[in-house]
Structures are given as structure tokens and as C-alpha cells.
A and B are shown apart, each in its own frame.
Chain A
Amino acid sequence: GQSLEQPSEVTAVEGAIVQINCTYQTSGFYGLSWYQQHDGGAPTFLSYNGLDGLEETGRFSSFLSRSDSYGYLLLQELQMKDSASYFCAVPNQAGTALIFGKGTTLSVSS
């Protein structure tokens, strides 16, 4: 089956850089996605890595190493509004739906 591991909590200060790691175990691999969810809100899609390497979208970047079954989300120039939960996700074994990690709660302080 599929399983994902990510830290439960991360804290940082405004302007800093934070990295949220995600390790996964899958029987087949179709890529790693990242979602952001603010308290009381719906998850929103942030980024996707289908191949090894770094994908950059503004202040956010995501990295994947398929040989290590590992990826991370990098958030730069942190702002208070980045305080949220971040989920990594991979497709299920059949490739028909996403399985989400338990989420990492990021708290940004001033």
C-alpha cells in the first residue's frame, strides 16, 4: 500500500526559509503533490513533481528524488499568511485517486 511521512509541526519566523519533508512508500509511483490548507479552509493545490528535481513557483519550491522516495516543499521569505497545514500526496496503487499525508502544521511568528 501507500504511506507518507511528514513532520507534524514546524515553526519559523517571518522572512525565514523552511523546508517540509515528505517520504513515501508506494508500490508504483506517479508523482508527488503538495497542498496547502488554512485553518477552516479547503485544501489548495501548490505544486507537483513528476520527475526528479526542483520545481519553483514564486516563493515556493518543491523537490523530488525518486531514488530516495523523498521530496520536500521549500517556503522562502516566510509571511504570516503562510501559517497553514501542508500536505504531501501521492496517487494510490491503482493510480485512480490521491492519498494524503497526515499534514505538517506550519506556524510563522513575527
Chain B
Amino acid sequence: SAVISQKPSRDICQRGTSLTIQCQVDSQVTMMFWYRQQPGQSLTLIATANQGSEATYESGFVIDKFPISRPNLTFSTLTVSNMSPEDSSIYLCSVALGGLHEQYFGPGTRLTVT
């Protein structure tokens, strides 16, 4: 397994501003993912952030809005840019260990945009 931490755990931000979410893993992993989850809803994949390559974004998510950094095998950041109330959600990072099917998630960042 892996221990994953995220910062901040929650934040309230004003529209038009940006927030950077950090994800730290206690071991070196290649595959890392960023998800968004509305309360009571499923997980929606934002992007795959594998170290050594550019992040791959899913349909509906663009780099200008959600820039991602992956400087090494234990760390990644996701920035939510020019925020609007529609960006209010829980943002989760995850890593894949032993295969894509077995992912471990961080505790999430609860973002509220006012």
C-alpha cells in the first residue's frame, strides 16, 4: 500500500482566483491520477500524471484550467485556475501500485468557490 497526503485538506476561495493542491506519496510511483468528486457522486478522472511525461487530460478538462506538475516520483500538484462556483468539489489524487486496477487515494481536498 501507499500513504498519500494532500494539502490543503479544504479551502474556501473566491471566484477568479487559483488554488494549487499538493499530493505527496511515501514511496516512488510512476502512475498518478487526479480525480474530481461531487458529494454523493462518482469519481471523474481529470488527468493522468505519469512522471517523465506530460499530463494526459480527459475530455472536458484542459491544461489551461487544470495545470499539473509532476516533478518527481513522489509528488504532484494540480492547480485549479480562474475558479468559478462550478469548480466546487472534492479533488483527489491517487497512485497505482501493482497495476492500474489497484489504486490508493489521498484524503482529498474539499474546495468551495464563492
Contacts and interface: CB of A to CB of B under 8 A. Distances in A.
Interface size on A, as a range, is 20 to 34
A45 B42 contact: no
B105 A42 contact: yes
A44 B103 CA distance: 8
Interface string B73-114: 000000000000000000010100001111111111000000
Instruction: Decide if the interface of chain A is mainly helix, strand, loop or mixed.
Output: loop
Interface string A1-44: 00000000000000000000000000000110101000001111
Given A97-B33, A97-B100, A98-B101, A43 B43 contact: yes
B106 A42 contact: yes
A102 B100 contact: no
A51 B108 CA distance: 32
Given A42-B92, A42-B107, A42-B108, A97 B101 contact: no
Interface of B: 33, 41-43, 45, 48, 56, 58, 92, 94, 99-108
6 contacts: A33-B101, A42-B105, A42-B107, A48-B102, A96-B56, A98-B100
